[in-house]
Amino acid sequence: MSTNKYIATPIRTKEILKKYHFTFKKSLGQNFLVDVNILNNIISHTGIDKEAGAIEVGPGIGALTEQLAIHADKVVAYEIDQRLLPILEDTLQDYDNVHVIHEDILKADVQEMINKQFKAEQPVHIVANLPYYITTPILMKLLRENLPISSLTVMIQKEVAERMAAKPNSKSYGSLTIAIQYYTDAEVVMHVPKSVFMPQPNVDSSILKLTRRKNPPVHVEDEDYFFPIVQACFAQRRKTLRNNLTSHFKGIYDKEEITTILDEINIDGTRRGESLTMEEFATLANTFYKRSK
């Protein structure tokens, strides 16, 4: 197929939108990619080949879906906007290895779908141009469900991508960094200019590649206890660790008790959350967890 025939060109995208009288819904954060080279560049970072399966979230009119269909064995795409279903049926009619599901990814049983749609032991990758307003809930759902996924390669807001891939002692480093890097190895692999979208978004985008870890990099006694403590340490970034933890444990431990506990594990209470490594957060959370038993 010549490049001009691909969905991801300004001319073809305009034709499709006009044919179906499609209007963008701001509430769904719809911005369609109109550059095939960018899409192929994204796919080259995913590790997808003809042996692999791909899951897409929010296919839109099928620009990325089409390129995934060319490169992968099978593609399953979740689309929440009912108006796009007949469009996708039309634009992807040449690809018999695409299955579109009309469902909200946040409510979907993705594990069950993987069991039904992909071969056993087949490497499966998630690739998506995620709406900016719902990036974090989608990623955290997909990561916490411990799905048999090799990687997630997502186009998201540049600033959020930088937060997810940040290192300690940087402005971008925070509780979101810890949450993402607990489950994955996170790397910003490319930046995407606003000009390749229709309509153009107000923010810059980046491609973040998240490679699943076989095991978390630290031992955590209880994840449901660990993550709230991490969030508490960043609750007010300018506050010291001791002050943030005092607020978090109000009515359980006073400031002196918290200082004693921090001294026991050799963490200076005057430090700020952004200076702690994941190992230190694990030690901190595990210590408080054991005391709560």
- What residues form the annotated binding site? 31, 33, 58, 79, 104, 129
CA 58 – CA 245 distance, rounded (Å): 39
- What residues form the annotated binding site for S-adenosyl-L-methionine? 31, 33, 58, 79, 104, 129
Q: Which residue has 């071969």 as its token pair?
A: 119
